[in-house]
Amino acid sequence: MASRAANRDAGTAARILDVAEQLVQVRGFNGFSYADVAAELGITKAALHYHFAGKADLGEALIARYASRFAEALAGIDASADGSAGAARARLAGFADLYLDVLRNQRMCLCGMLAAEYQTLPQPMQEAVLRFFDASEEWLGSVLESGRADGSLSFAGSASQAARMIIGSLEGAMLVARPYGDVGRFQAAAASLLAGLTRPADAAAPA
């Protein structure tokens, strides 16, 4: 019975996180309350507090889960591109597609939304948001370095600077595409961004 109760509690916590994640990605962290989550799930606010003592605790759990899933997605991109020709370019395209998939679901990047509210977030959440972007920059930096080394990518400055440019551009492209409800705007911006990194190598390739 204890095992069944634990599974039930875990299932409820996951459902709470699912609803809260959607609310953050659509409204922002400051745009919803425990009452909104409770109403969506048909449970009491006391039940929410049982799983997450306060909204800040819920926010930290949201970022941790999102970051874990994002890291798993990046590992999947690495595995699918490993050993293939143009692996670095394939990895960059896969990275952009992660953002595209979120936008197709009429949502925004969770940590992008939280970054817009950064100054109002509790410090542990602020630190978690920074860790998410730092991890993304580190992964991108490694991809960019490998691409420059094998001649498939070309960019000015350091790999870390280029990584920051990519993240900023994709987050911004999502933000601008959102009010238009036009995923194509994001796709065009992402394609142009990636072309700017690969065009010199492509142009130098033999016909």
Greater pLDDT, 10 or 106: 106
| Full set of structural domains in the chain with CATH | 56-204 (1.10.357.10)
Of all residues in the chain, the percent with pLDDT exceeding 70 is 90
Given this model, what pLDDT does residue 84 score? Answer: 73
Give residue 202's pLDDT.
43
Looking at 2-6, 17-21, 22-26, 153-157, which range is the least confident one?
A: 2-6
Does the pLDDT of residue 9 top 50, yes or no?
A: yes
**Full DSSP string of the chain:** -HHHHHHHHHHHHHHHHHHHHHHHHHH-GGG--HHHHHHHHT--HHHHHHH-SSHHHHHHHHHHHHHHHHHHHHHHHHHHHTTSTTHHHHHHHHHHHHHHHHHHTT---HHHHHHHTGGGS-HHHHHHHHHHHHHHHHHHHHHHHHHHHHTS---SS-HHHHHHHHHHHHHHHHHHHHHHT-HHHHHHHHHHHHHHHHHHHHHHS--
pTM over 0.85: yes
pLDDT greater than 90 at residue 135: yes
Q: How confident is the model at residue 204 (pLDDT cuts 50, 70, 90)?
A: very low
